[in-house]
């Protein structure tokens, strides 16, 4: 029986994780749950899964929740860290959105927890620090992100020295095939309409700008300790191949499957075992074709910005992420246009004074300062 806590239990990955727990009550017990603001959904989850501790975004919400339930309610960053480090749990699913995941993930690693990592921003902002902590504490860090989960499966039993390159597939997002002119006046609803994956709002926008793929390059670089030169992105609109590894002898191993996040979530939790999931098989005859294309980086510039920021390293990927978080929030609120996201990121990256080997405290400071500077930039 695995004892799990979920950071971000009411979001897309959180609710799908609980769906797996629901299907396999003999395998998993929920110890802790945390949500940012969705108090109704969290209350329902507490009633169903009977966790031992919970956390929510603010003190006001915590007071409100305390009246409904009779277990300790924590809140804010301290609450997230409590859930991440509670001794009763052995595995932490990090499914919060944004750099808010950094400190609790780091705390969970130091507490010796197994990590099922869905919060890619943690590795984007502080990949080197986090991977050092993973190694030092000798813990298991399993990627939930479908591409990295695929790469992990393709690398199973292989020698990393024999990798020629990693090929990360990309659906292309909501605006695949569009030109810069087409993108000038696209709406939030259009951006949220992802062709294959059903995900949360922020990551769906990140997919539309290709920033999500940019983050995934940085995530892959850290997770698999692969130089950026050996990472390639290929557009694959059907989202059946979730990523591939090419070896020095020319062999390519890919992981394929339906685009359903419960598959990588379950694998991250059950590895090295596989659990039965009630998901329809890929119908290859009906599917007919799997196609591939080059990403259009002239139009979707975030992918190149991420490659550049990743190669520079240090504090640069933190700035990439912090600017993106604010710009996407503003776009979702209708305050800026779609193309303002990539334009703002370029500006903030150009203005940044690089810190080559930041500590976690410096990363957190740069993250906050960049977010504030981006808000000022976008409000002026």
SS3 category, 72: coil
**Cβ-based nearer residue to Mg ion, 219 or 325:** 219
Could you give the string, one character per residue 341-360, with x where binding to Mg ion holds by CB under 5 A and - elsewhere? --------------------
Q: Which residues pair with 3 in a beta bridge?
A: 29
**Cβ-based nearer residue to Mg ion, 29 or 239:** 239
The one-character DSSP state at 339 is: H
Task: Give me the helices (H) in 10-154, please.
Answer: 12-23, 39-49, 59-66, 76-85, 102-110, 120-137, 146-154
Closest C-alpha among 98, 115, 99 to residue 4: 115
Instruction: State in angstroms the smallest separation of the CB of 199 from Mg ion.
Output: 9
Instruction: State in angstroms the smallest separation of the CB of 15 from Mg ion.
Output: 17
Could you give the string, one character per residue 126-165, with x where binding to Mg ion holds by CB under 5 A and - elsewhere? -------------------xxx------------------
Residue 121 near Mg ion by CB under 5 A: no
Q: Contact at 8 Å (CB) between 301 and 342?
A: yes
Q: Cα–chain-centroid distance for residue 232?
A: 19
Nearest residue relative to Mg ion (C-beta): 145
**CA separation for the pair 137, 128 (Å, rounded):** 14
Q: Write 103-107 long-range contacts (CB < 8 A, 24+).
A: 103/77, 103/360, 103/364, 104/7, 104/77, 104/80, 105/7, 105/130, 106/130, 106/133, 106/360, 107/81
Size of the site for Mg ion (CB under 5 A): 3
**Cβ-based nearer residue to Mg ion, 147 or 329:** 147
Instruction: State in angstroms the smallest separation of the CB of 342 from Mg ion.
Output: 19
Instruction: State in angstroms the smallest separation of the CB of 212 from Mg ion.
Output: 6
**Cβ-based nearer residue to Mg ion, 29 or 321:** 321
**Cβ-based nearer residue to Mg ion, 239 or 299:** 239
Instruction: State in angstroms the smallest separation of the CB of 261 from Mg ion.
Output: 9
Contacting positions for Mg ion (CB under 5 A): 145-147
């Amino acid at each position: 029986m695995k004892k799990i806590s979920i950071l971000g239990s009411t979001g897309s990955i959180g609710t799908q994780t609980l769906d797996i727990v629901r299907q396999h009550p003999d395998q998993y017990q929920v110890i802790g749950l945390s949500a940012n603001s969705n108090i109704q959904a969290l209350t329902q989850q507490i009633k169903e899964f009977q966790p031992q501790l919970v956390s929510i975004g603010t003190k006001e919400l915590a007071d409100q929740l305390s009246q409904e339930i009779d277990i300790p309610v924590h809140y804010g960053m301290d609450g997230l860290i409590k859930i991440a480090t509670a001794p009763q749990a052995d595995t932490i699913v990090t499914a919060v959105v944004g750099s808010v995941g950094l400190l609790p993930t780091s705390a969970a690693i130091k507490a010796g927890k197994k990590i099922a990592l869905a919060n890619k921003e943690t590795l984007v902002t502080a990949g080197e620090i986090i991977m050092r902590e993973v190694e030092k504490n000798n813990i298991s860090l399993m990627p939930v992100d479908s591409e990295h989960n695929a790469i992990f499966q393709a690398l199973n039993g292989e020698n990393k020295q024999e990798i020629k390159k990693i090929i990360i597939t990309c659906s292309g997002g909501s605006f695949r095939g569009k030109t810069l002119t087409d993108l000038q006046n696209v709406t939030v609803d259009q951006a949220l309409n992802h062709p294959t994956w059903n995900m949360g709002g922020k990551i769906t926008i990140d997919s539309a700008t290709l920033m999500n793929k940019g983050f995934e390059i940085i995530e892959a670089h850290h997770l698999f300790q692969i130089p950026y030169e050996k990472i390639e992105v290929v557009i694959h609109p059907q989202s059946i191949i979730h990523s591939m590894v090419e070896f020095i002898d020319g062999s390519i191993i890919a992981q394929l499957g339906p685009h359903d996040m419960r598959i990588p979530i379950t694998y991250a939790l059950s590895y090295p075992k596989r659990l039965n999931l009630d998901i329809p098989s890929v119908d290859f005859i009906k599917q007919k074709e799997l196609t591939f294309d080059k990403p259009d980086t002239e139009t979707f510039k975030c992918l190149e910005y991420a490659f550049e920021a990743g190669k520079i390293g240090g504090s640069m990927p933190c700035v990439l992420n912090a600017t993106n978080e604010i710009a996407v929030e503003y776009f979702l609120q209708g305050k800026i246009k779609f193309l303002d996201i990539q334009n703002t990121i370029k500006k903030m990256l150009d203005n940044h004074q690089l810190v080559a080997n930041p500590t976690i405290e410096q990363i957190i400071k740069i993250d906050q300062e960049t977010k504030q500077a981006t808000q000022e930039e976008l409000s002026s």
